[in-house]
Amino acid sequence: MSLLSTPYDSGEFFDEMYATGGEVRPHYRLLAERLATLAVPEFERRRAAVDLAFLRRGVTFTVYNDAEGTERIFPFDLIPRIIPAREWSRLEAGLIQRITALNLFLHDLYHGQKIMKDKVVPASHILSAKHFRREFMNFSVPRDIYVHICGTDLIRDRDGSYLVLEDNLRCPSGVSYMIENRSAMRRAFPNLFQSYGVRPVEGYSDELLKALLHIAPDRSDKPSVVLLTPGVHNSAYFEHCFLARQMGIPIVEGRDLVVQDTSVHMRTTSGLLPVDVIYRRIDDDFLDPAVFRSDSMLGVPGLVAAYRAGRVALANSIGTGVADDKVIYAHIPKVIKYYLDQDPILPNVATYLASEPSDLKFILENMAGLVVKSANEAGGYGMLIGPASTKEEVADFRARVAANPRNFIAQDPIMLSRSPTWCENRFEGRHIDLRPYVLCGEKTVVTPGGLTRVALRKGSLVVNSSQGGGSKDTWVIEGAK
Amino acid sequence: MTLPRKKEAPARAPVPRPQANAMLSRVAHSLYWMSRYIERAENIARLLEVNLQFILDFRGYDDVHLKEHWGSILASSGDNELFEEHYGAADSRSVTEFFAFDLRNPNSILACVFAARENARMIRDQISIEMWETVNELYLFLKSRSTTDVWAAGPYEFFQDIKRNSHLFQGLTDSTYSRSEGWEFIQFGKFVERANKTARILDVKYHILLPNATDVGGALDTAQWQAVLRSASALEAYRRFYVREILPWKVAEFLIFSDSFPRSIHFCVAQVDEFLRRILAESGARPRTEAARASRRLLANLQSLSIDEVLRGGLHEFLVETGKTLDRISEEVVQTTMFYPAESTQEDQQLQQQQ
Amino acid sequence: MLISLLHRTTFVYAGTASDSFNEVRLTPVDDANQTCRSFELRIDPAAETREYVDFYANMVHYFDVTAEHSRLVVEAVSEVETRPNASRPPVPAVQPSELEASPERELNAEFLTGSHYVPLDVELWREAQDALGGGRSDVWSDVQRMCRHVYKNFAYKPRSTGVGTRATAALKLRSGVCQDFAHVALGLCRSCGIPARYVSGYFIKAQRQPDEEEASHAWIEAFVPGFGWAAFDPTHDRPADERYIKVASGRDYADIRPVSGTYRGGKTRSLSVEVRVREAEAADRAR
Cβ pairs bridging A and B (under 8 Å): 63
Q: Is B355 inside any structural domain?
A: no
| % of residues, chain B, pLDDT over 70 | 88
Last residue of a domain, one of A411, A430, A449: A411
- ipTM for the predicted complex comes to 0.88
Q: What is the C-alpha separation between B332 and A406, in angstroms, rounded?
A: 57
**Which residue from A127, A134, A290 is facing C109, i.e. has the nearest CB?**
A127
**Which residue from C19, C62, C264 is facing A305, i.e. has the nearest CB?**
C62
Based on the fold, state whether residues B225 and B326 are members of the same structural domain: yes
Residue A269: pLDDT above 80?
yes
Based on the fold, state whether residues A131 and A99 are members of the same structural domain: yes
| pLDDT-derived band at B207, boundaries 50, 70, 90 | low
Which stretch of A42-56, A64-78, A90-104 has the lowest confidence by average pLDDT?
A64-78
3-state SS assignment for residue C9 = strand
Q: Is B3 inside any structural domain?
A: no
Residue A234: pLDDT above 90?
no
* Contact check, Cβ <8 Å, B352/C259: yes
What is the chain A residue with the closest CA to B130? Answer: A56
**Which residue from A122, A258, A289 is facing C106, i.e. has the nearest CB?**
A122
Q: Is A169 inside any structural domain?
A: no
Based on the fold, state whether residues A104 and A204 are members of the same structural domain: yes
Per-residue pLDDT, averaged over C191-211, amounts to 87
| pLDDT-derived band at C175, boundaries 50, 70, 90 | very high
Based on the fold, state whether residues B198 and B280 are members of the same structural domain: yes
Residue B208: pLDDT above 70?
no
CB A134 within 8 A of CB C54: yes
Residue from B191, B137, B180 nearest B28 by CA? B180
Last residue of a domain, one of A284, A314, A340: A340
Based on the fold, state whether residues A266 and A292 are members of the same structural domain: yes
Q: Is A2 inside any structural domain?
A: no
Based on the fold, state whether residues A278 and A306 are members of the same structural domain: yes
Residue B6: pLDDT above 70?
no
Based on the fold, state whether residues A286 and A404 are members of the same structural domain: no
**Which residue from B341, B346, B353 is facing C177, i.e. has the nearest CB?**
B353
Predicted local confidence at residue B101, as pLDDT: 85
Based on the fold, state whether residues A106 and A219 are members of the same structural domain: yes
CB A371 within 8 A of CB A132: no
* Contact check, Cβ <8 Å, A270/B22: yes
Q: Is A80 inside any structural domain?
A: no
- Note the pLDDT tens digit of each residue in C10-68: 999 988 898 899 999 999 999 999 999 999 999 999 999 999 999 999 999 999 998 99
CA distance A49 to chain B (A): 20
Domain limits for position A368: 351-411
**Which residue from B25, B124, B346 is facing A294, i.e. has the nearest CB?**
B346
Per-residue pLDDT, averaged over B319-348, amounts to 88
| pLDDT-derived band at A71, boundaries 50, 70, 90 | low
Q: What letter represents residue A380's amino acid?
A: G
Residue A203: pLDDT above 50?
yes
- Note the pLDDT tens digit of each residue in A421-431: 998 888 889 99
Based on the fold, state whether residues B168 and B102 are members of the same structural domain: yes
* Contact check, Cβ <8 Å, C264/B347: yes
Last residue of a domain, one of B145, B177, B209: B177
| % of residues, chain A, pLDDT over 90 | 59
CA A90 to chain CA centroid, nearest Å: 19
Predicted local confidence at residue B149, as pLDDT: 78
* Contact check, Cβ <8 Å, B24/A289: no
Residue B2: pLDDT above 50?
no
Q: State which of B62-66, B76-80, C86-90 shows the largest mean pLDDT.
A: C86-90
Please give the mean pLDDT across all residues of chain A: 89
Based on the fold, state whether residues B57 and B91 are members of the same structural domain: yes
**Which residue from A119, A124, A290 is facing C21, i.e. has the nearest CB?**
A290
Residue from C199, C184, C285 nearest C250 by CA? C199
CA distance A8 to chain C (A): 54
- Please tell me the total count of domains within chain A: 2
Residue from B272, B277, B287, B283 nearest B322 by CA? B272
Residues 6+ apart with CB under 8 A from A24: A17, A18, A32
CB B301 within 8 A of CB B339: no
The percent helix, strand, coil of chain C (3-state, each to 5) is 25, 40, 35
Based on the fold, state whether residues B328 and B213 are members of the same structural domain: yes
Based on the fold, state whether residues B104 and B212 are members of the same structural domain: no
Chain B residue numbers with beta carbons less than 8 Å from the beta carbon of A289 are: 345-346
Predicted local confidence at residue A460, as pLDDT: 78
- C161–chain B Cβ distance below 8 A for any pair: yes
Q: Is B350 inside any structural domain?
A: no
Chain A residues touching chain C at CB-CB below 8 Å: 113, 116-117, 119, 122-124, 127-128, 134-135, 137-138, 258-262, 289-291, 294, 301-302, 305, 308-309
| pLDDT-derived band at B243, boundaries 50, 70, 90 | confident
Chain A residue numbers with beta carbons less than 8 Å from the beta carbon of B185 are: 269
Q: What is the C-alpha separation between A346 and A348, in angstroms, rounded?
A: 7
Predicted local confidence at residue B7, as pLDDT: 38
What is the chain C residue with the closest CA to B344? Answer: C264
Based on the fold, state whether residues B83 and B200 are members of the same structural domain: no
Based on the fold, state whether residues B220 and B168 are members of the same structural domain: no
Chain B residues touching chain C at CB-CB below 8 Å: 341, 344, 346-355
CA distance B282 to chain C (A): 28
* Contact check, Cβ <8 Å, A301/C106: no
Q: What is the C-alpha separation between A174 and A236, in angstroms, rounded?
A: 8
Residue from A255, A298, A301, A247 nearest A277 by CA? A247
Based on the fold, state whether residues A324 and A376 are members of the same structural domain: no
Predicted local confidence at residue A418, as pLDDT: 92
Per-residue pLDDT, averaged over A398-418, amounts to 88
Element (H, E) at C23: strand C2-24
| pLDDT-derived band at A68, boundaries 50, 70, 90 | very low
Q: Is A391 inside any structural domain?
A: yes
Q: What is the C-alpha separation between C56 and A114, in angstroms, rounded?
A: 17
- Note the pLDDT tens digit of each residue in A28-43: 999 999 888 888 888 8
CA distance C139 to chain B (A): 27
Based on the fold, state whether residues A234 and A369 are members of the same structural domain: no
Mutation target vs C (from B340, B344, B348, B353; most C CBs, 10 A cutoff): B353
Based on the fold, state whether residues B120 and B173 are members of the same structural domain: yes
3-state secondary structure chain B: CCCCCCCCCCCCCCCCCCHHHCCEHHHHHHHHHHHHHHHHHHHHHHHHHHHHHHHHHCCCCCHHHHHHHHHHHHHHHCCHHHHHHHCCCCCHHHHHHHHHHCCCCCCCHHHHHHHHHHHHHHCCCCCCHHHHHHHHHHHHHHHCCCHHHHHHHCHHHHHHHHHHHHHHHHHHHHHHCCCCHHHHHHHHHHHHHHHHHHHHHHHHHHHHCCCCCCCCCCHHHHHHHHHHHHHCCCHHHHHHHCCCCCCHHHHHHHHHHCCCCCCCHHHHHHHHHHHHHHHCCCCCCCCCCHHHHHHHHHHHHHHHCCHHHHHHHCHHHHHHHHHHHHHHHHHHHHHHHCCCCCCCCCEECCCCCCC
Domain limits for position B217: 180-339
* Contact check, Cβ <8 Å, C64/A137: no
Predicted local confidence at residue C72, as pLDDT: 95
Last residue of a domain, one of A340, A371, A400: A340
CATH number at residue A397: 3.30.1490.270
Q: Is B37 inside any structural domain?
A: yes
Based on the fold, state whether residues A334 and A378 are members of the same structural domain: no
* Contact check, Cβ <8 Å, B347/C260: no
- Note the pLDDT tens digit of each residue in A145-174: 999 999 999 999 999 999 999 999 999 999
Q: Is A462 inside any structural domain?
A: no
- Note the pLDDT tens digit of each residue in A395-406: 998 998 888 888
Based on the fold, state whether residues B83 and B145 are members of the same structural domain: yes
**Which residue from B121, B279, B343 is facing A297, i.e. has the nearest CB?**
B343
Q: Is B251 inside any structural domain?
A: yes
How many CB atoms are closer than 10 A to CB A271?
12
> Subunits touching B (CB < 8 Å, at least 3 pairs)?
A, C
Last residue of a domain, one of B142, B177, B212: B177
Cβ pairs bridging B and C (under 8 Å): 67
Last residue of a domain, one of B151, B177, B203: B177
**Which residue from A249, A256, A273 is facing B26, i.e. has the nearest CB?**
A256
How many CB atoms are closer than 10 A to CB C280?
17
Q: Is B352 inside any structural domain?
A: no
Residue A306: pLDDT above 90?
yes
Residue A144: pLDDT above 50?
yes
What is the chain C residue with the closest CA to B345? Answer: C264
Q: What is the C-alpha separation between A452 and A174, in angstroms, rounded?
A: 10
Predicted local confidence at residue B283, as pLDDT: 85
Residue from A137, A142, A139, A301 nearest A225 by CA? A142
Please give the mean pLDDT across all residues of chain C: 91
* Contact check, Cβ <8 Å, C264/B346: yes
Q: Is A224 inside any structural domain?
A: yes
**Which residue from B347, B352, B355 is facing C265, i.e. has the nearest CB?**
B347
Q: What letter represents residue B166's amino acid?
A: S
* Contact check, Cβ <8 Å, A305/C64: yes
Based on the fold, state whether residues A384 and A275 are members of the same structural domain: no
- Please tell me the total count of domains within chain B: 2
Predicted local confidence at residue A10, as pLDDT: 80
Predicted local confidence at residue C105, as pLDDT: 84
Per-residue pLDDT, averaged over A58-81, amounts to 68
Based on the fold, state whether residues A231 and A318 are members of the same structural domain: yes
- Note the pLDDT tens digit of each residue in A88-133: 999 999 999 999 999 999 999 999 999 999 999 999 899 988 899 9
Chain A residue numbers with beta carbons less than 8 Å from the beta carbon of C54 are: 134-135, 137-138
CA distance B96 to chain C (A): 40
The sign of the dihedral angle between the CA atoms of C120, C126, C132, C137 is: positive
CATH number at residue A302: 3.40.50.11290
Chain B residue numbers with beta carbons less than 8 Å from the beta carbon of A294 are: 345-346, 348
Residue B249: pLDDT above 90?
no
Residue C109: pLDDT above 60?
yes
Give the ranges where A229-346 is alpha helix by DSSP (H): 237-247, 303-308, 326-329, 332-340
Q: Is A29 inside any structural domain?
A: no
Residue C219: pLDDT above 90?
yes
Residues 6+ apart with CB under 8 A from A18: A8, A10, A24, A25, A420
3-state SS assignment for residue C114 = coil
Based on the fold, state whether residues A242 and A309 are members of the same structural domain: yes
Structural domains of chain C ordered from first start: 2-84+257-286 (2.60.40.2250), 91-255 (3.10.620.30)
Q: Is B40 inside any structural domain?
A: yes
Per-residue pLDDT, averaged over B221-238, amounts to 84
Q: Is B7 inside any structural domain?
A: no
Per-residue pLDDT, averaged over C120-127, amounts to 92
Chain A residue numbers with beta carbons less than 8 Å from the beta carbon of C264 are: 301
CA distance C55 to chain A (A): 5
Based on the fold, state whether residues B191 and B64 are members of the same structural domain: no
Predicted local confidence at residue A232, as pLDDT: 81
Residue B342: pLDDT above 80?
no
Based on the fold, state whether residues B125 and B244 are members of the same structural domain: no
Predicted local confidence at residue B3, as pLDDT: 37
